[in-house]
Amino acid sequence: MNNRFPLLCLSLVAAGWPVAGLAQSRADLATLLTRAERTDYQETSRYADVVDFVERVAAASSKIHLTRFGYTFEGRGMPLLVVGTVEDADAASVRATGKTRVFIQANIHAGEVCGKEAMQMLLREIALGQHAEWLDSLVLLIAPIYNADGNERVLLTNRGRQHGPLAGMGQRPNAQGFDLNRDHMKLDSPEARALVRLMTDYDPHVGIDLHTTNGTRHGYHITYSPPLHPNTNPAIVDLLREEWLPAAQAYMKEDRGWESFYYGNASQREGADVPGWYTFDYRPRFNNNYLGLRNRFAILSEAYSYATFEERVLATKSFVEGAVRFAHLNASRIRQAVSEADRSPVAGTTLGVRAEPHDGGEITILMGEVDEVRNPYSGATLLERRDVIRDVSMIDYGTFETVESASVPAYYVVPADQRGVLEKLADHGVMMEPLASPREATVEVFRIDSTSVAAREFQGHRERTVFGHYEDVTQRLPAGAVVVRTDQPLGRLVFTLLEPRSDDGLLNWNVLDDFVERGGVYPIVRAMSAR
């Protein structure tokens, strides 16, 4: 997608990562271990460990190219491994293959480190010639240490009762104090801006996001999720729920003998006869949901916090293998589904701006038990999974239903002085076009009846809500005003960013505060007709 708005939009993907002098043989790779493996899973890899490891696997294999896709807040290069039959790591070279592109991201929360270790191990296996059949149909894009700054803030006390690594792990936020898994819409961090630029440049068909969950004491080694926003293209969600996630589940069961299921936490609400199994938030500030609104397949993997660190690493690696194997076997179907979603018109349809959990009826959840054990280094009490599983009936709250919706216009018109809005849209890769000359048009103006901000600050913001109504007016649109059409691949995302009642849009994140408070009118108008 080309951004037609004339802002300076530099690609964040560098030409490459220097690996001179690191020629490796397969024999060397066979003895190359991650820091976790070297320490019997007592420790997790630091940034320097990861960089050294990926440099060595890239030097040893013509199928692995190392580059960086941006820089963290503290200036650390964010490594990206391009794995496949490609000339180099350049985005154009990757897209030119015509193969299905799968992006795998680990360590967005730097205390949740199993994905970081698992992806190093997977890269080593690929460099040794394993999984070669995947590369017939796929190009893998692997970012093993997304939150590199948070990774270096190792403390024995991070992540509370999580069972290891016993020698400590990094922190949840980045160096700015931001939770990077809440930053996909507002893009306040350099890491998030680098990530969405990668999404625009490489345009992966699939995204897999690797985490560790520390909630309910259940019986699963992995819980997982597709995109949850109700506005996600239904074909994306259907393929994931009906075939892809069950295939990954079955693979891990056969590979390791371990159970997995949809992500959730058990909660007994007041007045309820049975507990509910509640998934996480549907809003696209979360990576998985954001990718869904970009018409891309997205899979969240959450390793069970109270399994041992070694088991979490192995479970994550197995689940990823199952998911990637399905992508390999169904590569053309995945590309076709993405292409059809990109072409599917949203203008004139109705999409949600707010949603709530949907009662999906009773399901059986495997609940587990834990033992309290002592961390020998910190003296703290940790929880360790006990090999006990019992069936418990719960109400499934694993999906969401729209409770407030709005019609999708043909286009929005953003005033030229809304630099903050235009910069955010450009960062997301949205296509825009300034008017070359004035024109008169029938548009809808949102008149604000009232507005409020959250009492508590969240991620550096006090989220804003407006109430009001649209009115039809005839308005002269000045030259330089920017037209943002919804008949583009990111049309669903455009709607969610620009609708005033959206609960995760730019107004919600205070980008328009000065104009909203001053004028009582939302400064961005919309037109239902493309003419």
What pLDDT, in 10s, does the model give residues 331-380?
999 999 999 999 999 999 999 999 999 999 999 999 999 999 999 999 99
**DSSP reduced 3-state for 408:** coil
State the residue range of the domain holding 483: 409-527
| 297-304/206-213 β-pairing | parallel
Task: Quote the number of domains for the chain.
Answer: 2
Residue 2 lies in a domain: no
Domain endpoint, select from 401, 424, 449: 401
Residue 8 lies in a domain: no
Residues 319 and 426 in one domain: no
CATH classification at residue 306:
3.40.630.10
Residue 6 lies in a domain: no
**Residue indicated by tokens 């493309």:** 530
Residues 339 and 453 in one domain: no
Take residue 11 and report the two structure tokens written for it.
């690609």
Sign of CA dihedral 157, 158, 163, 168: negative
Rounded CA-CA distance 431/31 in Å is 48
Rounded CA-CA distance 239/293 in Å is 15
Residue 4 lies in a domain: no
Torsions phi, psi of 329, nearest 5?
-75, -20
DSSP string across 497-516: HH-TT-TTSTTTTTTTHHHH
Contact (Cβ atoms closer than 8 angstroms) between residue 42 and residue 164? yes
Sign of CA dihedral 509, 503, 429, 472: negative
Burial tier of 3 (Cβ tally within 10 Å: 0-12, 13-18, 19+) = middle
Residue 71 lies in a domain: yes
Q: What is the reported pTM? A: 0.95
Instruction: Please report, for residues 43, 144, 145, 313, the alpha-carbon distance to residue 165 in angstroms, rounded to integers and kept in the order given.
Output: 5, 17, 16, 11
pLDDT per position in the chain (531 positions), as tens?
Answer: 344 433 333 444 445 666 555 556 777 888 999 999 999 999 999 999 999 999 999 999 999 999 999 999 999 999 999 999 999 999 999 999 999 999 999 999 999 999 999 999 999 999 999 999 999 999 999 999 999 999 999 999 999 999 999 999 999 999 999 999 999 999 999 999 999 999 999 999 999 999 999 889 999 999 999 999 999 999 999 999 999 999 999 999 999 999 999 999 999 887 778 899 999 999 999 999 999 999 999 999 999 999 999 999 999 999 999 999 999 999 999 999 999 999 999 999 999 999 999 999 999 999 999 999 999 999 999 999 999 999 999 999 999 999 999 999 999 999 999 999 999 999 999 999 999 999 999 999 999 999 999 999 999 999 999 999 999 999 999 999 999 999 999 999 999 999 999 999 999 999 999 888 777 899 999 999 887
Domain endpoint, select from 384, 401, 418: 401
Residues 353 and 461 in one domain: no
Residues 492 and 359 in one domain: no
Rounded CA-CA distance 442/523 in Å is 15
Rounded CA-CA distance 196/236 in Å is 19
Take residue 250 and report the two structure tokens written for it.
């079955």
Other beta carbons within 10 angstroms of residue 282's beta carbon come to 27
Residue 17 lies in a domain: no
Residues 200 and 261 in one domain: yes
Residue 447 lies in a domain: yes
Torsions phi, psi of 64, nearest 5?
-125, 120
Cis, bond preceding 165 (omega within 30 deg of 0)? yes
Residues 138 and 180 in one domain: yes
| 350-358/222-225 β-pairing | unpaired
Residues 60 and 143 in one domain: yes
Residues 88 and 138 in one domain: yes
Rounded CA-CA distance 135/216 in Å is 37
Instruction: Please report, for residues 20, 440, 477, 507, the alpha-carbon distance to residue 473 in angstroms, rounded to integers and kept in the order given.
Output: 63, 10, 12, 22
Rounded CA-CA distance 251/511 in Å is 45
Domain endpoint, select from 385, 401, 417: 401
Rounded CA-CA distance 287/189 in Å is 14
| Confidence (pLDDT) at 16 | 64
**DSSP reduced 3-state for 40:** coil
Other beta carbons within 10 angstroms of residue 7's beta carbon come to 12
Residues 245 and 187 in one domain: yes
Question: What mean pLDDT is reported for the chain?
Answer: 94
Residues 83 and 128 in one domain: yes
Contact (Cβ atoms closer than 8 angstroms) between residue 109 and residue 181? yes
* Closest CA relative to residue 59, chosen from 87, 25, 101: 25
Residue 72 lies in a domain: yes
Residues 381 and 278 in one domain: yes
Helices (H), 429-504: 491-498
Residues 371 and 340 in one domain: yes
Contact (Cβ atoms closer than 8 angstroms) between residue 493 and residue 428? yes
**Residue indicated by tokens 């002085």:** 417
| Confidence (pLDDT) at 520 | 86
